């Protein structure tokens, strides 16, 4: 079993791991010939299934195992990986390989950076002294007015390069302990099954939604601080109501004992067209078609925990080409975050690889809370 690669897009990789780390400290990582998959399944809260093509974050990629497609399954702590990637952000290049230390499997990250050595004060003083002595000797040797070389002002004398800063390479190695999982162990890990969505809609920028959601959550906690003890207990985990229509509207709402506040994106968002070839039912029988025909007042709604929703929206730090939300009324919200590649231009949806619904997507499964 072998795995070795250069890191190609450290910044995107670092942002992805940071977003996953907000939900859970451990991830299952599946590596094969073509794809890198990250799966996070916390005890409570939203699940994440991220699938990236190898060349999105890796270069000079080599993998070998006895499994089909050279698959390797790892259990990986996200905290140490996030810290290692943070150290590599300003590096010249970094590599990652699977190895062993004292019989323990490790992901070893080697980081190469360039540093500059400042000259010492003693060296600078010595060089300056030597330069002054040389100047005096030269002025004494050429004191003849008829000698053209006696005009020292015509020749600017400079210090030796020894006094300048020198660059040298610094190599840092960080080992991340992992567990190599048996294929039979991971066969039981399956994505949640959700029925066809009632509404699918293009989401506004996630960091914009996160700012409003966090404001609502903090307001609920602050308001309940002076309320009854039962209200305070409920306010520790404020619930937010998310709703969308098939006519381009999205609504974020907070309802509490003394609060009812709403933020609305009114008929300004896009409802992407579905591909009839991949639907399990004819397009005219699909739930989203019925919601569209019902008009702009037909909302699909889910209720989410405010704190968990904030952690989900932290994926907004990734530069996504687009985000599509699928609402299954009173059941679940699925958020598809399509990752933007560093080597592509994105003038708009559908341009370059960013507009293609390929492998580069981070999928969040958010269950609706029953009232």
Average pLDDT along the chain, 371 residues, taken 10 residues at a time: 94 94 95 95 93 94 94 96 93 93 94 71 50 49 52 58 65 94 86 93 95 93 68 69 97 88 95 92 95 97 95 91 95 94 42 45 94 56
What is the distance between the alpha carbons of residues 87 and 151, in angstroms, rounded to a whole number?
54
Q: Which pLDDT does position 351 carry in this prediction?
A: 30
Taking Cα atoms as reference points, which of 15, 10, 49, 14 lies closest to residue 315? 15
Structural domains of the chain ordered from first start: 2-114+170-187 (3.70.10.10), 119-163 (no CATH), 199-367 (3.10.150)
What is the distance between the alpha carbons of residues 326 and 202, in angstroms, rounded to a whole number?
9
The enclosing H or E element of 339 equals strand 332-339
- In this structure, which long-range contacts are made by residues 356-360, counting pairs with CB atoms below 8 Å and at least 24 apart in sequence? 358/53, 359/34, 359/35, 359/51, 359/52, 359/53, 360/51, 360/52, 360/53, 360/56
The enclosing H or E element of 178 equals none
Task: Name the pTM for this structure.
Answer: 0.81
Q: Which pLDDT does position 156 carry in this prediction?
A: 63
Q: Which pLDDT does position 165 carry in this prediction?
A: 59
- 39 forms beta bridges with 28, 49
Q: Which pLDDT does position 140 carry in this prediction?
A: 47
């Amino acid at each position: 079993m072998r795995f070795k690669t250069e890191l190609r897009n450290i910044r995107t990789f670092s942002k992805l791991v940071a977003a996953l780390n907000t939900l859970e400290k451990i991830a299952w990582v599946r590596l094969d010939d073509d794809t890198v998959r990250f799966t996070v399944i916390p005890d409570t809260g939203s699940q994440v299934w991220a699938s990236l093509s190898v060349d999105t974050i890796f270069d000079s990629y080599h993998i070998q195992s006895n499994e089909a497609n050279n698959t390797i399954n790892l259990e990986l702590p996200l905290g140490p990986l996030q810290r290692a990637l943070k150290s590599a952000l300003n590096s010249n290049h970094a590599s990652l390989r699977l190895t062993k230390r004292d019989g323990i499997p490790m992901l070893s990250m080697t980081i190469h950076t360039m540093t500059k050595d400042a000259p010492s004060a003693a060296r600078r003083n010595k060089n300056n002294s030597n330069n002054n002595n040389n100047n005096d000797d030269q002025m004494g040797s050429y004191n003849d007015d008829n000698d053209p070389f006696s005009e020292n002002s015509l020749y600017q004398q400079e210090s030796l390069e020894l006094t300048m800063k020198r660059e040298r390479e610094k190599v840092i190695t960080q080992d991340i302990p992992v567990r190599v999982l048996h294929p039979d162990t991971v066969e039981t890990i399956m994505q949640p099954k959700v029925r066809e969505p009632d509404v699918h809609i293009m989401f506004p920028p996630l960091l914009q939604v996160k700012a409003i959601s966090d404001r609502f959550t903090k307001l609920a906690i602050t308001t309940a601080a002076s309320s009854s003890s039962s209200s305070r207990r409920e306010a520790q985990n404020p619930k937010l109501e998310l709703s969308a229509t098939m006519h381009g509207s999205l609504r974020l709402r907070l309802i509490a004992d003394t609060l009812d506040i709403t933020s609305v994106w009114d008929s300004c968002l896009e409802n992407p067209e579905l591909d009839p070839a991949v639907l399990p039912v004819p397009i005219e029988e699909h739930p989203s078609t019925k919601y569209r025909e019902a008009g702009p007042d037909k909302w699909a709604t889910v209720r989410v925990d405010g704190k968990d929703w904030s952690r989900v929206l932290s994926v907004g730090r990734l530069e996504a080409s687009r985000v599509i939300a699928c609402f299954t009324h009173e059941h679940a919200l699925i958020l598809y975050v399509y990752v933007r590649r560093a080597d592509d231009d994105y003038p708009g949806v559908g341009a370059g690889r960013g507009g293609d619904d390929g492998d580069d997507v981070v999928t969040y499964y958010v269950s609706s809370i029953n009232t």
